[in-house]
Amino acid sequence: MTAGSKVMEILPAIDIKGGKCVRLYQGDYDRETVYSESPTEVALHWVEEGASRLHVVDLDGAKAGSPVHLAIVGEIASASPTPVQLGGGIRGVATARAAVARGIDRVILGTAAVEEPALVDELCRELGGEAVVVSVDARDGQVMLQGWSRASGVTASEVLKQVESAGVRRFVYTDVSRDGTLTEPNFRAIEELSRQTGLKMLVAGGISSVDHLKRLADLEIEAAIVGTAVYTGDIDLREAIDAIQGH
């Protein structure tokens, strides 16, 4: 890490499906592992382990096209002393407002950012660029839509150029083919995207060791989102946070 650069955050992912905390394999809704009946208890556990922010995804909302579990998300936000960002089904101003009203401090747009660029403009004006995050979920270079079920036909870099001009400050990059696989991040794609944009970058997908986190920190990524690995124990969140702070 270069002198004066900010320490990379490590954000535990809390994916909600059927009201439970789950993990999917490669984004496949039919290949889930349930880790807890209570997403709120999981959230508080990660806060105790040192998480400075929580990354929550409403998987049912992503598929349905509007949030399904806002009550649970609101419970997490009110119980957690740390900020919470939410993705999954936020495809309109009303749903974004509803999320913010529940205590969410960042809303994450995926499908809507590609299909309705005017919505990104509107939300940046209303909520501010810091509160709007764009999720770029890619498979074989193409951005995936609707809970990763449909290819958009556009590339990640094309989407980023579009949203940067709207005032968005950061984006989440996920390599769908690596998500939940405990393999490794797509470092080549991450490096390429970080060179192509001035936006702050959060990375998800395939992160399964502290070494992966250190490599991402060296690329000056703003945050790494870790899912499966912190649930299986491949990464100990507290130890990982300490390791990156000392890196």
* Catalytic annotation, residues: 15, 137
Mapped onto helix, strand or coil, the DSSP state of residue 10 is strand
Contact 190, 216 (CB under 8 A): yes
**93-101 and 117-127 are packed helices; what angle lies between their axes, rounded to 10 degrees?**
40
* Residues 16, 78, 52, 137, Cα dihedral to 10°: 30
Cβ atoms within 10 Å of 236's Cβ, excluding its own: 14
Number of H helices, E strands in the chain: 11, 12
245/229 Cα distance (integer angstroms) = 19
Question: b/e map of 164-174 (b: 16 or more CB within 10 Å)?
Answer: bebebbbbbbb
Write down the residue that tokens 């954000």 correspond to.
Answer: 11
39/21 Cα distance (integer angstroms) = 5
Report how far Cα 65 is from the mean position of its chain's Cα atoms: 17
Q: What is the DSSP letter of 182?
A: S
